[in-house]
Amino acid sequence: MVADWQPVRRTRTFEDVIAQIERRIAEDGLKAGDRLPAERSLAEQLGVSRSSVREAMRVLETLGVVSSQVGRGPDAGAVLTSRPDTALTDLLRLHLGLASLELREVIDTRLMIERWAAARAASAGSDTSGLATALAGMDAATSAEEFVEHDTAFHCALADASGNRLIAAIMRSLRDSMRRYAVEAVTRLGDTSVLRADHERILAAVRAGDPDEAANAVAEHLAHAYPSLS
């Protein structure tokens, strides 16, 4: 038996461009804030058309790795950034819309993450000022949308307090992509006093440095918010 034939790898030009940029990032140790050459210049140096460079830029921008500004000066052009959140958010939102992911799966994931983050935040003795601020915002909220806004801030602050940026980014994306459903859930619930008590309990547990209690508080909180999925 001879070796299997490998299908010819169709490499599109813009993929080569991405690969070269990625290589440069790794080799030259480029980091967020550093500038990339201008599109025209990059196209010339790589011997490709500007369109291909632009498509590569679109991909990198979508992945939250570069950000482009028009105009002239030190801030203009393509700059390396670090926004995994927005990329993740877009990704989840689109796939929720495509029904390739179900709400149930997203909420389960959120529960997993949040339990972990709460426990981690509690045992790390993290700063809880962000949590308190968000709590106050929820009290002042006059609509479901506004409530959800601060609720999101609370839970993202919790994820931030865990000290893991990947977890925090995933959390932020999950919340953003399911904002619509959160508003529905709050509206359906009507009374938010239960949720308020939950939040206080979570905050207290984190402050007390009790990981297990923090995780349980979070779990019960989500059960209250989404009773139909429990």
Partner DNA sequence: ACCACAGTATGGTCAGACCATATCGAAGCC
Partner DNA sequence: GGCTTCGATATGGTCTGACCATACTGTGGT
Q: Which is nearer to DNA, 49 or 230 (CB)?
A: 49
Residue from 113, 122, 134, 225 in contact with a second copy (CB under 8 A) = 113
- Does 3 interact with a second copy (rule: CB under 8 A)? no
For the window 117-156, what string marks contact with DNA as x by the rule CB under 7 A? ----------------------------------------
- Does 13 interact with DNA (rule: CB under 7 A)? yes
CA dist 129 → 91, 156, 158, 207, 224 (Å): 30, 13, 10, 10, 24
Q: Which is nearer to a second copy, 13 or 210 (CB)?
A: 13
Structure tokens at 102: 């179900």
CB 95 within 8 A of CB 102: no
Residue from 46, 63, 79, 189 in contact with a second copy (CB under 8 A) = 63
User: Nearest to residue 31, comparing CAs of 80, 103, 78?
Assistant: 80
The rounded distance, in Å, linking the Cα atoms of 107 and 177 is 11
Interface stretch with a second copy, choices 21-29, 38-46, 132-140, 200-208 (CB under 8 A) = 21-29
Residue 50 touches which of DNA, a second copy, none (Cβ within 5-8 Å per kind) = DNA
Least distance CB 14 / a second copy (angstroms):
7
126-130 CB contacts, 8 Å cutoff, 24+ apart: 126/161, 126/162, 126/163, 126/206, 127/161, 128/161, 128/203, 128/206, 128/207, 130/157, 130/160, 130/161
CB 52 within 8 A of CB 43: yes
Residue 74 touches which of DNA, a second copy, none (Cβ within 5-8 Å per kind) = DNA
- Does 73 interact with DNA (rule: CB under 7 A)? yes
Residues that bind a second copy (CB under 8 A): 14, 22, 25-26, 30-32, 51, 54-55, 58-60, 62-65, 80, 82, 84, 87-88, 90-92, 94-95, 97-101, 105-106, 108-109, 112-113, 116, 164-167, 170
